[in-house]
Amino acid sequence: MLAPTTGDDDRQYLSNFLIATALYNAADQVIDNAANYAVAGVNVPVNPGQQSQFLLTSTGFDIRPDVLTANVVVDVWINVSGTRQTVKYPVGVFTAITGKIHVDIGLALSGFLQVAFWTSYHAAGTYSMNIMVRIEGSTVPSPTVFVSDTYMNVGIISKAA
């Protein structure tokens, strides 16, 4: 049972809910195994005097397999300020598929640090969140895939620090 309180205790309750959005982008981006590619991203602000939790609400992209040069596995993950905050999960893409493949990205977590990140409040600052994509392997020349129709939405739940 909660004990009655006196005075102003609003600081312990949520004060704000916002959505940070990387707007839909239909442009093709060529992905290979030469680098980790940030295909969509958003800067998530936490204002001074507040602390915030982040909620990945809707995030994803399409893969165009019609331009594949070989069957590939594409790794997908979420980076926050340069640190991987989800597992890398594989998406198989095959030359026999003729339509677009849509990839919805959720929070596949592995280990305490990733769980702690998504369930903790974060201090004031700007957090850069990105959808990362890379073709697995080191084949030269690398197979390529086109990624398009990217989007990323992050809920920001804030309260006073």
CATH no. for residue 108? 2.60.120
Q: What are phi and psi of 94, to 5 degrees?
A: -125, 145
Over residues 40-51, the pLDDT tens digits come to: 999 999 999 999
Q: Per the domain annotation, does 18 fall within a domain?
A: no
Count of domains observed in the chain: 1
Over residues 51-79, the pLDDT tens digits come to: 999 988 889 999 987 777 778 889 999 99
Q: Are strands 89-93 and 72-80 parallel, antiparallel or unpaired?
A: antiparallel
| This prediction's pTM | 0.85
Q: What is the pLDDT of residue 13?
A: 64
CA dist., res. 89 & res. 108, Å (int)? 8
Q: What is the pLDDT of residue 95?
A: 75
Q: Per the domain annotation, does 47 fall within a domain?
A: yes
Which residues have a Cβ under 8 Å from the Cβ of 155 and sit 6 or more positions away?
A: 17, 18, 19, 54, 55, 56, 57
Over residues 5-33, the pLDDT tens digits come to: 555 555 566 677 778 788 888 999 999 99
Q: Per the domain annotation, does 21 fall within a domain?
A: no
Q: Per the domain annotation, does 122 fall within a domain?
A: yes
Question: In whole numbers, what is the pLDDT of the chain averaged over residues?
Answer: 85
Q: What is the pLDDT of residue 85?
A: 92
Q: Which residue do the tokens 């994803």 mark?
A: 60
Which residues have a Cβ under 8 Å from the Cβ of 22 and sit 6 or more positions away?
A: 40, 41, 42, 150, 151, 152, 153
pLDDT tier at 127, thresholds 50, 70, 90: very high
Q: Where is mean pLDDT largest: 10-14, 95-99, 123-127? A: 123-127
Q: Per the domain annotation, does 117 fall within a domain?
A: yes
Is the pLDDT at 81 greater than 50, yes or no?
yes
Q: Per the domain annotation, does 108 fall within a domain?
A: yes
Q: Residue 85 sits in which domain range?
A: 27-160
Q: What is the pLDDT of residue 123?
A: 95
Q: What is the pLDDT of residue 52?
A: 93
Q: Per the domain annotation, does 12 fall within a domain?
A: no
Q: Per the domain annotation, does 126 fall within a domain?
A: yes
Is the pLDDT at 1 greater than 80, yes or no?
no
